[in-house]
Amino acid sequence: MKRKRCEGSGESCSPADWIRQEDCPVGIRNVGNTCWFSAVIQSLFHLPVFRRLVLNYCLSERVLEKCKSHSEKRNIAFMQELRCLFALMVGSNRRFVDPSAAVELLRDAFRTSEAQQDVSEFTHKLLDWLEDAFQLAANGNNPEDKQNNPMVQLFYGTFVAERLHAGKIVSNIEQFGQYPLQVNGFNNLDECLEGAMVEGDIESLHSDQPVSSGQERWFSKLPPVLTFELSRFEFNQSLGRPEKIHKKLEFPQVIYMDSRYLHKNVDQTHGRRGDVKRLKDQLTVLQQKLEGYKNYGSGPTKYPLADMLQYVLEFVTTKPTNVSPASLCDKLCLSFFSLPCLSPSKYDAGSSDGSGCPQTATQKTPIHKPFTQCRPPMEVPLQPAPHSVTEEELYFVRSCLQRWRAEVENTVNELKASIDKVSQALEGMYSDNSLCQVSYRLHAVLVHEGQASAGHYWAYIYDHANKRWLKYNDVMVTESTWEELVRDSYGGMTNASAYCLMYISDKLPYLIAEDTDDETGQALKGMDSLPSILRSYVREDNRWFQQELREWEEQFCQAQCEEVHTEKPIPEEPQNPEQEPNPEPAQEQTNEVSGEPPTDSTPAPVQDSEEENQAMATHSQPENEVSEVEIPNVGKILVRSDADGYNEEMMLTPAMQGVIFAIAKARQVFDKDGPEAGLIKAFHEEYSRLYELSQEETTPQQDPRLQHVLVYLFQNQAPNRVIERTLLEQFGDRNLSFDDRAVSIMREARSKIRLIKPEDMDMDEYLQWHDDYSMFKTVFAYLLTGLEQYQNGKIREALNYLAHAHQDNSVLLRKGERKGVDQSLIALYRIKCLKELNENAATLFKSPDANDVAEAMTIMNECIIPCMHLMVRDSVSQEDLDVIELIRSCWCSYLGQDMDDSLQEKLSEFLPRVLDCSAEMVVLKEPPKVRKSPHNLCSRLTAVMESIHSTSVVTVK
């Protein structure tokens, strides 16, 4: 696709976002349906033993001269490109790297260059190429001898297959790389392995009963890296197409392979399998018995037996009545006609013809009130009861029912206890220490989201050095948790699930050990771990990257200047000197264009019809070029090439995902009734979703307002015109030009925005609401950054951020309670920072070192005193007053102490400012710029609040 510079594959239009953050892993750019490549390569690269093998791959001149075949030359070329890619991933200054050179060599190995690849198919092909390439380096003279091939040693194992033939057990040894496991019919990884190990009647293989079928597999040699393929695709014969299996499948972080899968434990495992079978049979019988008590009855509807006996007991003990149904009906009728609302007194006195009907002209029509308003004069039983019960009958039936119910309850409790006991025995059957010696730890999980024909891959990889999970999604590398991994990988809830599991041996520390210096023994990181030739390659690429940044900045400044001149064109002279130009179009454009850059909280500019038609015409020129973009919770979508480009990172924001998903929901309405109906349907879908989101309860770990500007507007009762235009602006975003339906809805939204007249919308009010939301996100960014800095021990920086957060938040709270953040959390940590900084400054001030004294003066003048002054000028709380008095007392105590004249002079310089907080203008040090992405703030809020929850129970409202 032809895209604008900086807008491809998640690139941001900010040069700062192209730069790799310190100690942050590098992402891999998706160069066209290559998410499968990124997922597999990242999982292998972050295995240090494999990374070392690739980076240090080398062939002698003698071996290179012997390589004549096409496959050998291709494999060598691929290894060289893979080395370069790995080197960039180690030492590049870029946030993500381009794998195009390595990917191009793989294209020919698959059916087509554009089809999305199966991750297991690619991994098989990749390992084959690597195996052949390393075979040249390991033993070029004998290609059949693969004992010294590092790829074979690392990824390949063997298993023993046993079967019964002619009454004898026949076994053979087979090699495996990635071991396939079926998902259907199993609930967890152990069940999958058990099913893969056993086929047919497993007991007959090691018993005296001959059978004609049955096979077992036992691992005889496990590889250091054990990879399982989860077969989540099957071919539907009736539909003639593959389908994905979305069934839930659990897998552990640590699995013990000797518990039931190793050939050396075959006898012990068989004995336990017999015990397991007996326990499972016993458990089935117990569960069937319990089910009979819980669902009793011969008809279609069944009830718990204990409850049925209790109901019969309640019926028998209910007070009997001698009233029959017929007599009860008669009495109810008499009661009805004797109600006061129907009595003769309700009629005017007058003559009657004897029939009971009044004859006077002034007679009133009777008022028939509902008889429920009048209480019947007799008591009617409220629940069924026997007509008559003797004391003897009552005693006999009651005693029987009570005894039977007690017996049933005791039996049910005994069955439950037996089931628990048997279940615990089953769970502990393979968990004793003798069978838990060969442990494998989960290293990587490759996830597929979508259906069989299309989808997206990403990987969760464990960072062994920092003990954390990281999510690698093409160019995006983010810190994750086991809970998020489980949610995305187990399956059963969404269309995302694990497709490949990579475990590594816990007994081989060299697998995850970093490179070390031969002389000092210290770990080598970054560029130091690269061979000299690759180090030079990366340095050269980094120099090119710096040049690209400089060029981008120059182009960006030039574009900004051109945009300024374009926004203020010189009006043309009218052809007729007596005819004045019509000012209305210019006025309409002024009200529609806010002049602010389009973000998730600021409305995007709306083009006039001529510009829009020209843009759409340009957009439709390269019709034969398309690309795919993965939208979380939506799936893979085809995007037409656009000469003007689109911001792919904006398409991945939660706000844009919601709009895209709403458009997808409105597909049927669009196809049936056209773009306007489709827009209305999509608008109401997203409006309803965001309104429901605004009603969710705020927790310390989550604030719905951070997820979308409309949630903020709803919670602050913004005018409907502001809410509706804000959402309409998002449906008019240019990033929606990824297919014809979205383009039509985008055009329709822009048309409706142009119909909004100046008298219908106060743009100053509209922009003020968005400015408030932008400040709200700034407050949150300052707050979270301050808390993060505080936890990292950077107290001075933390106080600066918290002081700015408190100051800006006070402005918002004066406009409304839900306009800002609850001040209690900011105030609490502001006080903590002040106390710690003051103690530090007081200690440094008494130091004999002049540098320490100067540092103390800097802390007081730049941090503590300005913050104290702001606290006094605001609505100061008692806690704030207490910490201010504590600081004053601390420094006043120095007045009675002996100290050098120079210290006395310095103390006299700032002590008056400590005591009097109203005599000067306060200027806080401006903190560095912070990212205000709502998605980023949501994840940071969760992480920060979870980390401080044990020490501070403060709700962020």
Condensed to tens digits (0 to 9), the pLDDT of residues 636-657 reads: 555 544 433 445 555 556 777 8
Count other Cβ atoms within 10 Å, centred on residue 623.
9
Would 727 be classed as within a structural domain? yes
> How are beta strands 27-28 and 96-97 bridged, if at all?
parallel
Look at residues 575, 29, 450, 505 and name the one whose alpha carbon lies nearest to residue 221: 505
For residue 608 the two structure tokens come to 């006039």
Q: Domain tally for the chain?
A: 2
Query: CA angle 500-502-507, nearest 5°?
Result: 160
On whether residue 602 sits in a domain, the answer given is no
Phi-psi region of 467 (alpha: psi -120 to 50; beta: other; left: phi over 0): left
Position 144 scores a pLDDT of: 64
Pair 788, 819 in one domain? yes
pTM over 0.85: no
35 is catalytic: yes
- Do 744 and 788 lie in one domain? The reply is no
Looking at the structure, tell me whether residues 797 and 755 fall in a common domain: no
Task: Specify if 689 maps to a domain.
Answer: yes
Crossing angle between the packed helical segments 654-665 and 720-731, to the nearest 10 degrees: 80
Based on the fold, state whether residues 712 and 829 are members of the same structural domain.
no
41/789 Cα distance (integer angstroms): 34
Among 46, 263, 443, 456, the one annotated catalytic: 456
**How many residues does the structure list for the chain?**
957
Clarify whether residues 813 and 712 are in a common domain.
Answer: no
**Does residue 888 fall inside a structural domain?**
yes
Cα 461 from Cα 469, distance rounded (Å): 6
Contact 380, 329 (CB under 8 A): no
Q: 702 and 643 in one domain?
A: yes
- Plot region of 33 (φ>0 → left; ψ -120 to 50 → alpha; else → beta): left
Same domain flag for 792 and 757: no
CB atoms within 10 A of CB 466: 9
What DSSP character marks residue 309? H
- Beta-strand ranges (E) seen in 156-278 are 157-165, 168-176, 178-182, 198-199, 215-221, 225-231, 233-236, 241-244, 254-256
User: Which range marks the domain in which residue 742 is found?
Assistant: 628-761
Q: What are the beta bridge partners of residue 182?
A: 231
Residue 379 in 3-state DSSP?
coil
Encoding tokens for residue 903?
């210290």
In a domain, 920, yes or no: yes
Domain-located, residue 698: yes
Q: Which residues of 820-842 are buried (b: 16+ CB within 10 A; e: fewer)?
A: bbbbebbbebbbbbbebbbebbb
Distances (CA, A) of 850 to 855, 860, 900: 9, 16, 12
Q: Please tell me whether residues 757 and 782 are part of one structural domain.
A: no
Spans of the chain, pLDDT less than 50: 1-10, 111-117, 201-212, 332, 334-358, 360-365, 367-377, 568, 570-624, 631-634, 640-646, 951-957
The pLDDT score that the predictor gives to residue 950 is 55
Q: Which residues contact 303 (CB under 8 A, 6 or more apart)?
A: 295, 296, 297
Residues 654 and 688 in one domain: yes
Quick check: is 53 in a domain?
Answer: no
Same domain, 900 and 859: yes
Distance between CA atoms of residues 409 and 847, nearest Å: 77
> What pLDDT is stored for residue 592 in this prediction?
33
| Domain boundary residue, one of 737, 761, 785 | 761
754 plus 836 within the same structural domain: no
The count of other CB atoms within 10 Å of the CB of residue 78 is: 21
Is 821 contained in some domain? Answer: yes
Q: Is 356 left (phi over 0), alpha (psi -120 to 50) or beta?
A: left
| pLDDT tens per residue across span 38-84 | 899 999 999 999 999 999 998 888 888 888 788 888 888 888 889 99
User: Closest by alpha carbon to 883, among 825, 829, 939, 936?
Assistant: 829
Residue 46 appears among annotated catalytic residues = no
What CA–CA distance (Å, rounded) separates 565 from 570? Answer: 9
Whole-Å CA distances, 846 to 179, 258, 842: 68, 64, 7
CA dihedral 71, 76, 80, 83 (to 10 degrees): 100
Helix (H, G, I), strand (E, B), or coil: what is residue 215? strand
Whole-angstrom Cα distance, residue 683 to residue 726?
11
Distance CA 374, CA 850 (A): 96
Catalytic position from the list 6, 35, 500, 917? 35
Residue 799 sits in the same domain as residue 676 = no
